[in-house]
Chains A and B, each alone.
Chain A
Amino acid sequence: MCRACDDANPRRCPSSSGPLRSARDRSAYAAKKAAGLTKPRRKHGPTAGHDVKGGLDAPAVKQPPTVEELNAMIAEVQHAYQGSVGVPESDPEAYFAMIEKYGSREGAVVALGTAIAERAEMHAGVTADEVEALQQANIERIKTETPEMTKRLRIDETRVEIARNHAALEEARRAGDETRAAELTAKYWELARVRDAAWKDPQYLELKELQNQAQNYRKGPVGDKLRSLADGYQKTLAEVRPMGGDMAFHERSTKKAAASFNVAAQFYPSDWIDASNSRPPAIAKIVKSRAHYFEGATQTTKKRKPVETLYFASADVDLSEDNGVYREYIPHPEKDGYGDRAWIRKDYDVHTKSGSWGTNPAAAAGSSTNPASPSARSGAAPSTAWRPSPPSASPRSPPTRTTPASSTATPPPVSPPTNSATASSQPSPASPRSNTNGGTAAPPSPTAPRRPRSTSPVARRASPAGPTASPSPTPAATTGAPPPRS
Chain B
Amino acid sequence: MARPATRTRDLVSVSVDGRGAAWCDGFWSGDAEIIEDARLAATYRAAVPINGLKFEAHGEDALGALIALHAHLPGRTIVVESTPEFGALLAERAASDAPETWSAA
Interface residues of A (CB under 8 A from B): 18-20, 22-24, 26-41, 43, 52-59, 61, 65, 69-70, 72-73, 99-111, 115
Contact = CB atoms under 8 A, between A and B. Distances in A.
B84 A54 contact: yes
Nearest to A115: B102
12 contacts: A22-B6, A27-B11, A27-B22, A31-B29, A31-B30, A53-B81, A56-B79, A56-B90, A58-B103, A65-B102, A103-B52, A107-B76
Given A23-B25, A73-B102, A104 B11 contact: no
Main secondary structure, interface of A, reads helix
A52 B80 contact: yes
B68 to A, nearest CB: 14
Contacts of B82: 52-56
Interface in B81-104: 81-88, 90-91, 94, 99, 101-104
Contacts, number: 164
A44 to B, nearest CB: 10
A236 to B, nearest CB: 14
A39 B76 CA distance: 11
A56 to B, nearest CB: 4
Interface string B67-84: 000000111101111111
A102 B17 CA distance: 17
B79 A32 contact: no
Interface string B59-72: 00000000000000
A37 B17 CA distance: 9
A35 B20 CA distance: 4
Contacts of A110: 75-76
A291 B21 CA distance: 40
Contacts of A111: 103
A109 B73 CA distance: 13
Given A56-B87, A58-B103, A101-B52, A24 B24 contact: yes
Contacts of A41: 78
